[in-house]
């Protein structure tokens, strides 16, 4: 039932997004003049005229709709949101380690990110989950553990240091969507220890 509800919600986001993008296309002829007149009449002051419709960022309305959907997911338990990551369709680009690398509907990811420290342990526990997901990376099928890693990396980060206090890349928690399940298991243990000891930094 949760998956069906999410699918309907995501479909609504896509539909309204199309309308938003269509609404940003400049009108022709008299419609342009009418829009400009309305903007002038509705301006509160001469010094702060309404921003022309054709200069407003097209992504602004779409992002607000994503945020609204994320808010509607706020009442779901964290475990349920993590399960919903399996059905999130999209593609990870670049290194694929943060939400900024994700192209698709970020609603569920945002809902988890908004919970901040309270979801760190569940996300770390999820890192070795082998459930297949709908998100891909460079055509490669991913696992639920990879998606949990993306969300975790979008909330906190950890800088490992050696015995001399110098930064070191030799830490099991430094993994990515290209990592094997064995590496993800090691990352799970490494992250759980860091979270338990509170040695992470919040983004």
Q: Which domain holds residue 67?
A: 1-72
Residues 61 and 92 in one domain: no
Calculate mean pLDDT across residues 99-117. 92
Is the predicted pLDDT of residue 89 greater than 80, yes or no? yes
Residues 68 and 160 in one domain: no
* CA–CA distance, 179 with 117 (Å, rounded to integer): 24
Is the predicted pLDDT of residue 110 greater than 70, yes or no? yes
SS3 state of residue 202: strand
Residues 186 and 107 in one domain: yes
Q: What is the pLDDT at residue 41?
A: 46
In the 8-state DSSP scheme, what is residue 177? T
Nearest to 90 by CA among 56, 136, 50, 125: 136
Among 25, 54, 72, give the residue marking a domain's end: 72
Task: Quote the percentage of the chain above a pLDDT of 70.
Answer: 66
pLDDT in tens, 50-88: 555 455 555 567 667 656 666 788 889 999 999 999 999
Q: What is the DSSP string of 129-174?
A: ---EEEEEETTEEEEHHHHHHHHHHTTEE---B-TTS-B-S--TT-
Among 72, 97, 116, give the residue marking a domain's end: 72
* CA–CA distance, 82 with 108 (Å, rounded to integer): 8
pLDDT in tens, 135-172: 999 888 999 999 999 999 999 999 888 777 778 778 89
- The dihedral formed by the CA atoms of 140, 146, 150 and 155, expressed in degrees to the nearest 10: 180
Among 14, 38, 72, give the residue marking a domain's end: 72
Residues 97 and 139 in one domain: yes
Is the predicted pLDDT of residue 1 greater than 60, yes or no? no
Is the predicted pLDDT of residue 15 greater than 70, yes or no? no
Q: What is the pLDDT at residue 143?
A: 94
């Amino acid at each position: 039932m949760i998956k069906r509800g999410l699918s309907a919600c995501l479909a609504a986001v896509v539909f309204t997004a199309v309308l938003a993008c269509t609404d940003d296309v400049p009108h022709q002829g008299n419609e342009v003049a009418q829009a400009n007149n309305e903007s002038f009449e509705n301006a509160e002051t001469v010094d702060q005229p309404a921003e022309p419709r054709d200069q407003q960022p097209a992504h602004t309305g779409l992002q607000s709709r994503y945020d609204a959907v994320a808010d509607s997911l706020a009442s779901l338990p964290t475990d349920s949101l993590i399960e919903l990551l399996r059905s999130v369709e999209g593609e990870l680009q670049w290194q694929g380690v943060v939400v900024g690398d994700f192209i698709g509907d970020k609603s569920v990811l945002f809902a988890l990110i908004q919970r901040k420290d309270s979801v760190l342990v569940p996300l770390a526990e999820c890192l070795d989950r082998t459930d297949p997901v709908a998100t891909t990376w460079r055509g490669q099928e991913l696992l639920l553990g990879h998606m949990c890693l993306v969300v975790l990396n979008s909330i906190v980060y950890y800088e490992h240091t050696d015995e001399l206090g110098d930064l070191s890349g030799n830490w099991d928690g430094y993994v990515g969507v290209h990592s094997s399940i064995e590496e993800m298991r090691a990352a799970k243990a490494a992250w759980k220890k860091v979270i338990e000891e509170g040695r992470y930094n919040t983004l």
